[in-house]
């Protein structure tokens, strides 16, 4: 089965984003595939390059990086949600004349059209958070 995921939960409030990453890794281990993960609203914070977690907390970025690196899962941050929260990739940082990008390079910024495309190309869309 081909899944796409929609993440609307912040990685620092609740367990929605962490549960989503765990689901994705488990689904792949079970022989399914994850086509795309789309981050909306506070879910875009999953893609921040600058978050540092205390030593007694799990690094909330690593599971997403593992999905992108080892399984070629596309990680897309909603452009309007990202911009509203100061999340910029190099292109958006330059376009808005900001000093630096704040999005981890494993993530890209895209529009809602990419979510619609993912829904059309997968068997199931699962939403986490909200």
pTM: 0.93
CATH number at residue 60: 3.40.1260.10
> Which alpha helices (H) appear in 30-124, and where do they start and end?
62-71, 79-84, 90-95, 112-121
Q: Domain span at residue 88?
A: 2-128
**pLDDT (tens digit, 0 to 9) for every residue of the chain, 130 residues total?**
999 999 999 988 878 888 999 999 999 999 999 999 999 999 999 999 887 777 777 778 899 999 999 999 999 999 999 999 999 999 999 999 999 999 999 999 999 999 999 999 999 999 999 7
Catalytic positions, written as ranges = 78
Eight-class DSSP state of 78:
E
Q: How many domains does the chain have?
A: 1
Determine the Cα–Cα distance for residues 50 and 102; give it in Å rounded to an integer. Answer: 7
């Amino acid at each position: 089965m081909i899944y796409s995921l929609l993440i609307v939960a912040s990685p620092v409030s609740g367990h929605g984003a962490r549960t989503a990453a765990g689901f994705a890794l488990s689904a792949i281990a079970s022989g399914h595939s994850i086509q795309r993960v789309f981050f909306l609203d506070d879910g875009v914070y999953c893609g921040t390059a600058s978050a540092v977690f205390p030593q007694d907390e799990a690094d909330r970025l690593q599971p997403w990086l593992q999905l992108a690196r080892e399984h070629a899962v596309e990680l897309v941050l909603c452009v309007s949600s990202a911009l509203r929260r100061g999340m910029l990739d190099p292109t958006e940082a330059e376009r808005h004349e900001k000093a630096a990008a704040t999005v981890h390079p494993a993530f890209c910024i895209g529009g809602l059209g990419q979510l619609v495309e993912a829904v059309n190309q997968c068997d199931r869309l699962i939403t986490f958070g909200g």
